[in-house]
């Protein structure tokens, strides 16, 4: 970290996979600057509302009030100018991250950025890669592998099927993985998709499979499906009065229409 008494601006970049503590580190540095009586302007992305819409939040639910929530950094205009420190969380989501940070640092501001350095396919985020040579300090954090729980994790593995590059989520959609577990899980998924055992990403919804299955089970319990029953057409039951009015034969049986009708009546019936 740069010394607080330095008058010129600089860029501090915090990168790594998900669950590595990038946002927590950004919060720590901002609070340190606040303790040093320096004003801070905190920016979060408007799409990131996983834990809070108004605050920057880490996965462990630590909160830091955000000054602005925008889709592009140019939307804040020059609102950051009166502040000593400008902090940007989830920097990989902002298309204009490089120009904004460079402008703020050239204006004498301390710029702190936390961001993913790669996506779920281990492909680099262009803006963050271009920001690295412009930063005075770059800190690469690692997580603990959430698959084997015994190695450091440098990569983010997506556990749901979706081809969207920017799919905001938490532990319900992603895990931090070491190289061995990332490669093993990626190969296994590719083999299953090749065999047709699992849906391919372009045919899958973004809903986690476990949650989707639980939802279907809940729906089945709440609204059980009754098997269709075929009901044969039947004449309406006769009322008691109608039964009493029907003529009865000598033997006690109800005569048929042929027995009851006269020759004239038969002609009228036909």
- Active site (catalytic) residues: 90
Look up residue 134 and give its DSSP letter: G
Q: Is the separation of the CB atoms in 111 and 136 below 8 Å?
A: no
**Judging by DSSP bridges, how do beta strands 152-153 and 143-144 pair with one another?**
antiparallel
**Pairwise CA distance, residues 117 & 151, whole Å:** 19
- For residues 65 and 87, the answer to whether their CB atoms sit within 8 Å is no
Kind of pairing between the strands at 10-16 and 137-140: parallel
For residue 213, give every residue at least 6 positions away whose Cβ sits within 8 Å of its Cβ, in sequence order, or none: none
The position carrying tokens 């532990």 is 171
CB-CB contact of 169 with 211 (8 Å): no
In the Cβ-directed half-sphere of 59, how many Cα atoms lie within 13 Å? Answer: 16
Pairing of strands 155-158, 110-116: unpaired
Burial of 41: CB neighbours in 10 Å, binned 0-12, 13-18, 19+: buried
Q: Are 57 and 51 in contact (CB under 8 A)?
A: yes
CB 157 within 8 A of CB 184: no
């Amino acid at each position: 970290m740069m010394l607080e008494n330095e008058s010129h601006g600089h860029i501090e970049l915090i990168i790594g996979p998900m669950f590595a503590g990038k946002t927590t580190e950004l919060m720590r540095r901002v609070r340190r600057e606040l303790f040093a009586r320096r004003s801070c302007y905190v920016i979060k992305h408007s799409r990131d509302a996983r834990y809070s819409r108004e605050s920057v939040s880490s996965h462990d639910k630590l909160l830091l009030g955000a000054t602005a929530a925008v889709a592009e950094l140019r939307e804040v205009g020059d609102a950051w100018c009166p502040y000593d420190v400008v902090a940007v969380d989830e920097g990989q989501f902002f298309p204009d991250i490089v120009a904004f940070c460079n402008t703020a640092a050239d204006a004498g501001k301390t710029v702190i950025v936390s961001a993913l350095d790669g996506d779920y396919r281990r492909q680099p985020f262009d803006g963050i890669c271009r920001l690295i040579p412009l930063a005075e300090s770059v800190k690469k954090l690692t997580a603990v592998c959430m698959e084997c729980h015994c190695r450091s994790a440098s990569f983010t593995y997506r556990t749901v099927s979706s081809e969207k590059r920017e799919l905001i989520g938490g532990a319900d959609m992603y895990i931090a993985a070491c190289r061995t577990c990332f490669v093993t899980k990626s190969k296994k998924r590719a083999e299953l998709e090749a065999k047709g055992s699992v849906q391919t990403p372009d045919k899958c919804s973004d809903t986690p499979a476990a949650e989707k299955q639980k939802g279907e089970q809940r729906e089945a319990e709440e609204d059980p499906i009754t098997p269709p029953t075929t009901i044969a057409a039947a004449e309406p039951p006769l009322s008691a009065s109608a039964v009493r009015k029907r003529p009865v034969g000598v033997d006690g049986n109800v005569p048929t229409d042929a027995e009851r009708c006269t020759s004239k009546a038969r002609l009228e019936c036909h």
